[in-house]
Amino acid sequence: MTRNYLLRDVSPLGEGTTDVLLADGIIAAIGADAEAQAQDPVIINGSGLVLLPGLVDLHTHLREPGREDAETVRSGTRAAAMGGFTAVHAMANTTPTQDTAGVVEQVWRLGRDAGWVDVRPVGAVTVGLEGERLAELGAMAESAAQVRVFSDDGKCVHDPVVMRRALEYVKAFDGVIAQHAQEPRLTEGAQMHEGVVSAELGLAGWPAVAEEAIIARDVLLAEHVGSRLHVCHLSTAGSVEIIRWAKSRGIDVTAEVTPHHLVLTDELARGYDPVFKVNPPLRTQRDVEAVREGLADGTIDIVATDHAPHTREDKDCEWGAAAFGMTGLETALSVVQETMVDTGRMTWADVARVLSTAPARIGRVTDHGRPIAVGEPANLTLVDPGIRRVVVPEEQATQSVNSPFRGRELSGCVIATWLRGRATVMDGSACDESVVVSS
């Protein structure tokens, strides 16, 4: 039987302070009623703390099945809960690929059994992510996993006819294609952003146009067939402009930016430390400014982590041999707070929008990203914005240590997270003993 939680003096979305009661899996009362209705509650002194809807990640790599040496559904979702998330979309580039009802159901079940967050498996667009023929998108949509987001992330659906078909096909079940925009021919062997730094370092470049050209094509395709499109990990100033233009034309497109693209640049490659090697690559300061502006003005709809854990051996080597990717579930909220809230460009209400409500809407996740109101499911996270902490990857819940923020002091810390009223994180620690198989 889950306890009642009485949150005293918390600030929902950073606006005013009040008391909130969580009971029977929902927000049972707000304000004076909270204290009155509480039955033997766990009392939380929420003074100075911000209450947000549980975060929803539209882009995570849980690595299971196939690369359990880097992360498992269990370890990844535990890390997600520590980061304030209550739902994550698990990308399809597993082994075997999440391109059938069977595999997506397996991942969904693993998530459910682990009990840390709601796992929404992403279905591959094409069989084996090979970009040649559509996977059984309908079967995945109908499965227990109820897939709505489809992506070949890691790879681009580069064939324009295949992309067109995919965009058309998912209209039947309100699905969305989430494109990893990377023209493969322009980025063969690419190691980092193509620019002044790559020229000096002698590393093959990944030009911005390889991302922008695909986005430009895809928004026009989406317009032509009347479908909705989502753009993963948008990283360049030009991409932001294209999305802005597309939206002004009424095209149904949404876009995400990662926390690392909000703050890190290609200058970090100068030390050849592969922890900074990522796809799409870290770009220039001008691109960082543009994506921040895009997030602030709503051109970019959401922040998604693209949490990409890698084993030590895949990163403890020369740059050219290293895998692409950075972890991010446990630092995402802090990075957004530092770059956007503490600088006054966004409010906590905006943070709730970009990290919870909007991703839930895009993924058609009905019981997350909800308003903080009586009767809503108690999928929430409580944050202390005032705490400063140094990132020590070995102490994080994620199994892998490839965080680009190692040694960096970040603002904000998740104090508690609730999944349907059950605490998954309390006092800043994972509630290992309380997470049991739910029926």
> C-beta of 312: minimal distance to other proteins in Å?
10
What sign has the CA pseudo-torsion 80, 85, 86, 90?
A: negative
Which positions are catalytic?
Answer: 306
Q: Which of 319, 361, 387, 411 binds other proteins (CB under 8 A)?
A: 319
Strand order, beta sheet including 149-150 = 149-150, 176-179, 229-231, 253-257, 302-303
99 phi, psi to nearest 5 deg: -120, 15
Q: Which of 2, 25, 272, 389 binds other proteins (CB under 8 A)?
A: 272
**Can you read off the two tokens belonging to residue 28?**
């049972």
Q: Which is nearer to other proteins, 123 or 195 (CB)?
A: 195
Q: Should residue 375 be labelled a site residue for other proteins when binding is judged by CB under 8 A? A: no
The 3-state secondary structure of the chain, one letter per residue: CCCCEEEEEEEECCCCCEEEEEECCEEEEECHHHHHHCCCCEEEECCCCEEEECEEEEEECCCCCCCCCCCCHHHHHHHHHHCCEEEEEECCCCCCCCCCHHHHHHHHHHHHHHCCCEEEECECCEHHHCCCCECCHHHHHHCCCCCCEECCCCCCCCCHHHHHHHHHHHHHHCCEEEECCCCHHHHCCCCEECCHHHHHHCCCEECHHHHHHHHHHHHHHHHHHCCCEEECCCCCHHHHHHHHHHHHCCCCEEEEECCHHHCCEHHHHHHCCHHHCCCCCCECHHHHHHHHHHHHHCCCCEECCCECCCCHHHCCCCHHHCCCCCCCCCCHHHHHHHHHHCCCCCCHHHHHHHHHHHHHHHCCCCCCCCCCCCCCECCEEEEEEEEEEECCHHHCCCCCCCCCCCCCEEEEEEEEEEECCEEEEECCEECCCCCCCCC
Q: Which of 183, 316, 367, 376 binds other proteins (CB under 8 A)?
A: 316
Q: Which is nearer to other proteins, 28 or 264 (CB)?
A: 264
Q: Which of 16, 40, 161, 202 binds other proteins (CB under 8 A)?
A: 202
> C-beta of 142: minimal distance to other proteins in Å?
41
> C-beta of 324: minimal distance to other proteins in Å?
15
Q: Which of 25, 128, 138, 207 binds other proteins (CB under 8 A)?
A: 207
Q: Which of 77, 126, 198, 334 binds other proteins (CB under 8 A)?
A: 198
Q: Should residue 188 be labelled a site residue for other proteins when binding is judged by CB under 8 A? A: yes
Q: Are 233 and 294 in contact (CB under 8 A)?
A: no
Q: Which is nearer to other proteins, 185 or 432 (CB)?
A: 185
Q: Should residue 313 be labelled a site residue for other proteins when binding is judged by CB under 8 A? A: yes
Q: Which amino acid is at 359?
A: P
Q: Should residue 195 be labelled a site residue for other proteins when binding is judged by CB under 8 A? A: yes
> Restricting to residues 232-271, which ones interact with other proteins according to CB under 8 A?
271
From the list 65-73, 194-202, 291-299, 414-422, the region that binds other proteins by CB under 8 A is 194-202
> C-beta of 257: minimal distance to other proteins in Å?
24
Q: How far is C-alpha 374 from the geometric centre of its chain's CA atoms?
A: 27
Distance separating alpha carbons of residues 242 and 223, to the nearest angstrom? 13
Q: Which of 57, 194, 212, 338 binds other proteins (CB under 8 A)?
A: 194
Q: Which of 10, 70, 157, 203 binds other proteins (CB under 8 A)?
A: 203
Q: Which of 201, 225, 268, 391 binds other proteins (CB under 8 A)?
A: 201
> C-beta of 207: minimal distance to other proteins in Å?
7
Q: Which of 32, 36, 43, 321 binds other proteins (CB under 8 A)?
A: 321
> C-beta of 235: minimal distance to other proteins in Å?
17
The closest of 180, 212, 208 to 195, measured between CA atoms, is 208
From the list 92-100, 103-111, 138-146, 312-320, the region that binds other proteins by CB under 8 A is 312-320
From the list 159-167, 199-207, 291-299, 353-361, the region that binds other proteins by CB under 8 A is 199-207
Q: Should residue 211 be labelled a site residue for other proteins when binding is judged by CB under 8 A? A: no
Q: Which of 117, 170, 197, 341 binds other proteins (CB under 8 A)?
A: 197
Size of the site for other proteins (CB under 8 A): 25
Q: Are 329 and 307 in contact (CB under 8 A)?
A: yes
Q: Should residue 196 be labelled a site residue for other proteins when binding is judged by CB under 8 A? A: yes
From the list 2-10, 87-95, 103-111, 202-210, the region that binds other proteins by CB under 8 A is 202-210
Any bridge partners for residue 205, and if so which? 192
Q: Should residue 287 be labelled a site residue for other proteins when binding is judged by CB under 8 A? A: no
From the list 79-87, 92-100, 183-191, 399-407, the region that binds other proteins by CB under 8 A is 183-191
From the list 27-35, 119-127, 192-200, 234-242, the region that binds other proteins by CB under 8 A is 192-200
Which residues are at the interface with other proteins (CB under 8 A)? 185, 188, 191, 194-205, 207, 271-272, 313, 316-321
